[in-house]
Chains A and B, each alone.
Chain A
Amino acid sequence: MKTAMTLLLARDIFTIVAVTFGAFFFLAGTVGLIRFPDTLTRLHALTKADNLGLGLVALGLLPWADGILALKIVCVWVLVQFSSSTVSQLIARLAQQERPQA
């Protein structure tokens, strides 16, 4: 009985901590998007938000999902990685062409 309650408490604490850290990374990415001077540095900030932020939020939600739903949450994160990394590459190449720099 006691172990069941501490397990539930541990699950709650894990979710809150993971989602809070994920939200912090999203905040950091958004601040970077607003404050950084040019496209390449802004992309750098955004990939942190996408990669770590979304991953931590997904990780925090995993204890609440059972079976196939947990697999779907991880799939969402992997698919976002795919598309966001490709799009970052394409935008970076375009920014490089427009303002060639060392």
Chain B
Amino acid sequence: MMVALIVDVGLAILILFVAGWIVAVRSTFAAVIGFVVYGLLLSLVWVRLWAIDIALTEAAIGSGVTGALLLRTLSRLPVEHSERSANGSFRFIAGLFCAFISLAIAMVIVALPEPAPTLAPEASAGLPAVGVGNPVTAVLLSYRAFDTFLEKVVLVLALVGCWSLAADRDWGGTPVLWRYSDPDGVLKFLAQTLPPIGVLVAIYMLWTGADHPGGAFQASAMLAAMWMLTIVAGLMRMPRTNDDLLRLTLVSGASAFLLLGFAGFGIVGSFLAYPPDYAKALIVAVEIPMTIAVAATLVMLVAGPPQRRDMS
């Protein structure tokens, strides 16, 4: 379709322009804002590639939470005048190297095998046994459930790594998210009105992820955003890092997977296997603690290492 191709070309040109601008611009703050724009444009590309689940995840986590993380980091770094590496010839050689790599990958893209190998028939053939309608959810939570389990562990490991960077005297303290004064109460109003809607949308995305685009990660990013909003507005307190409930929540995602895995050993005979009649119920049952745990981990990752020993 001609019009669709024009839209695609325009979108590709826009993304390349924004990416080039991120590389070339002097101010780091502008580069971070450009990165948020880049993430949103990328999610439009995902829609054009008919990968709606990826579009939701990219907009929520890739652009939203990562953008919040980078902006918060900028506020904690000393303002530097960005010095270009003065060596022009080094940049020239690096540019040649990167151009060569781009060219090699472009040649691979053009020479991809036709007809394309695909796992879609096998994925769709196994769907009735799993009981869900969305094949991406089936891949994430049934066929490759082990990868998702390891991803939970990676998230917790990154958080432990972050926390270990605190000074010794601050261990167990409270991370500081933002210090913001809100004399008009505008932020407070938003933080009182938006989170109920956000939590509802998150539950909807989690529930409908079984049969339509959606799923646990998108829902957890939404929950994380709502929680961060209430903390920034001062309506809720950032928990201490040695708070038992927080630590329990953070590990509950991976633990639920482990429990399910070993139960699968006992009932069906192999790790993380689902008994066919209860597959969908078990998937939903493991998605709920997973979503809450990932949401908590996302917020604590943005908040960073604990800063204060006393209550904030």
Q: Which of A79, A86, A93 counts the most B-chain CB atoms under 10 A from its CB?
A: A86
A90 contacts the other chain (CB 8 A): yes
Nearest chain-B residue to A75 (Cβ)?
A: B197
A89 contacts the other chain (CB 8 A): yes
A85 to B193, CA, bound (A): 13
| Residues of B close to A89: CB separation below 8 A | 184, 186
A64 contacts the other chain (CB 8 A): no
| Residues of A close to B190: CB separation below 8 A | 82-83, 86
Total cross-chain contacts (CB, 8 A): 18
Whole-angstrom distance between the Cβ of B74 and the nearest chain A Cβ: 15
- Do A79 and B184 have beta carbons less than 8 Å apart? no
| Residues of A close to B186: CB separation below 8 A | 86, 89-90
Chain B 187-214 interface mask (CB, 8 Å, partner A; 1/0): 1011001100100000000000000000
Whole-angstrom distance between the Cβ of B41 and the nearest chain A Cβ: 14
- Do B187 and A90 have beta carbons less than 8 Å apart? yes
A86 to B189, CA, bound (A): 9
Whole-angstrom distance between the Cβ of A58 and the nearest chain B Cβ: 17
Q: Report B170-185 residues with CB < 8 Å from chain A CB.
A: 182-184
| Residues of B close to A90: CB separation below 8 A | 182, 186-187
Q: Report A43-102 residues with CB < 8 Å from chain B CB.
A: 79, 82-83, 86, 89-90, 93
| Residues of B close to A86: CB separation below 8 A | 186-187, 189-190
A82 to B197, CA, bound (A): 12
Whole-angstrom distance between the Cβ of B95 and the nearest chain A Cβ: 29
Please give the number of chain A residues whose Cβ is less than 8 angstroms from any Cβ of chain B in the complex: 7
| Residues of B close to A83: CB separation below 8 A | 190, 194
| Residues of B close to A82: CB separation below 8 A | 190, 193-194
| Residues of A close to B184: CB separation below 8 A | 89, 93
Chain A 27-42 interface mask (CB, 8 Å, partner B; 1/0): 0000000000000000
Q: Report B144-193 residues with CB < 8 Å from chain A CB.
A: 182-184, 186-187, 189-190, 193
- Do A79 and B197 have beta carbons less than 8 Å apart? yes
A93 to B182, CA, bound (A): 9
A89 to B187, CA, bound (A): 9
Whole-angstrom distance between the Cβ of A96 and the nearest chain B Cβ: 11
A32 to B197, CA, bound (A): 32
| Residues of B close to A79: CB separation below 8 A | 194, 197
A82 to B189, CA, bound (A): 10
A86 to B182, CA, bound (A): 11
Q: Report B15-49 residues with CB < 8 Å from chain A CB.
A: none
Whole-angstrom distance between the Cβ of B6 and the nearest chain A Cβ: 15
Whole-angstrom distance between the Cβ of A78 and the nearest chain B Cβ: 10
| Residues of A close to B187: CB separation below 8 A | 86, 90
Whole-angstrom distance between the Cβ of A82 and the nearest chain B Cβ: 7
A20 to B271, CA, bound (A): 56
A90 to B197, CA, bound (A): 21
Interface residues of A (CB under 8 A from B): 79, 82-83, 86, 89-90, 93
Interface residues of B (CB under 8 A from A): 182-184, 186-187, 189-190, 193-194, 197
The 7 closest A-B pairs by CB, nearest first: A86-B190, A89-B186, A86-B186, A90-B187, A90-B186, A86-B187, A82-B194
User: What are 18 A-B contacts defined by CB distance under 8 Å?
Assistant: A79-B194, A79-B197, A82-B190, A82-B193, A82-B194, A83-B190, A83-B194, A86-B186, A86-B187, A86-B189, A86-B190, A89-B184, A89-B186, A90-B182, A90-B186, A90-B187, A93-B183, A93-B184
